[in-house]
């Protein structure tokens, strides 16, 4: 009986929201100060609060790679981390890759090699390629395939994506 009463009492009380915290992030070259609840993921911050919807959501569990962004130059699944954990970080999303209207070579490569169909996994794939190349671990075709396997493309554009990676690796070596 007491349990029930307590339950009813509890149900009648509005739940307290977690307090907001101030986070400073540099996003695509612009410093932004944000007031965020601690339960906001980096992905949801980008999509819901900043309306940077180029970063996609495909599973929210780090299983598909659609939300891949560059955090301090490293590729990560933005759905698997909370925004408040990254105070002071530098973030690059798909919206920040082109400079002054000129596409990043990886973006151009995706168009030329038709490395997408529906385009939904594409921003994550592109960020992943940029991250992969700067990691400097991919040497062989098998390396590329393994290291790009965190980004699912349900349209099956993998072979064309691999062509872009190979081209970008060559380009980065030449520089």
Q: What residue ranges bind another protein (CB under 8 A)?
A: 10-15, 17, 37, 39-40, 44, 47-48, 51-61, 63-64, 66, 93-95, 97-98, 103, 107-108, 110-112, 114, 116-123, 126, 142, 144-146, 148-162
Taking CB atoms within 8 Å and a gap of at least 24, the contacts of 52-58 are 52/27, 52/28, 52/93, 52/95, 54/93, 54/94, 54/95, 54/123, 55/93, 55/94, 55/123, 55/124, 56/120, 56/121, 56/123, 56/124, 58/120, 58/121, 58/124, 58/152
Which one, 16 or 174, has the nearer CB to another protein?
16
3-class secondary-structure state, position 47: helix
Q: How far is the CB of 167 from another protein (least distance, A)?
A: 14
Query: Phi/psi of residue 130, each to 5°?
Result: -60, -45
Q: How far apart are CA 162 and CA 23, in angstroms?
A: 37
Which one, 55 or 78, has the nearer CB to another protein?
55
Q: How far is the CB of 134 from another protein (least distance, A)?
A: 18
User: What tokens were used for 4?
Assistant: 């029930």
Which one, 76 or 153, has the nearer CB to another protein?
153
Q: How far is the CB of 61 from another protein (least distance, A)?
A: 6
Q: How far is the CB of 69 from another protein (least distance, A)?
A: 11
Which one, 26 or 62, has the nearer CB to another protein?
62
CA distances from 76 to 81, 148, 159 (A): 9, 12, 22
Q: How far is the CB of 6 from another protein (least distance, A)?
A: 13
Which one, 89 or 152, has the nearer CB to another protein?
152
């Amino acid at each position: 009986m007491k349990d029930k009463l307590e339950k009813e009492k509890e149900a009648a009380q509005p739940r307290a929201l977690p307090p907001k915290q101030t986070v400073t992030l540099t996003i695509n070259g612009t410093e932004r100060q944000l007031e965020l609840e601690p339960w906001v993921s980096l992905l949801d911050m980008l999509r819901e609060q900043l309306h940077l919807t180029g970063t996609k959501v495909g599973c929210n569990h780090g299983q598909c790679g659609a939300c891949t962004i560059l955090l301090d130059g490293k590729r990560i699944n933005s759905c698997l981390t909370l925004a408040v954990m990254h105070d002071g970080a530098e973030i690059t999303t798909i919206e920040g890759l082109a400079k002054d209207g000129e596409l990043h070579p990886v973006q151009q490569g995706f168009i030329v090699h038709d490395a997408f169909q529906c385009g939904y996994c594409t921003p994550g794939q592109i960020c992943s390629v940029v991250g992969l190349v700067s990691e400097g671990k991919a040497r062989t075709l098998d390396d590329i395939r393994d290291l790009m396997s965190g980004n699912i493309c349900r349209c099956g554009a993998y072979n064309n994506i691999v062509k872009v990676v190979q081209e970008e690796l060559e380009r980065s070596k030449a520089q």
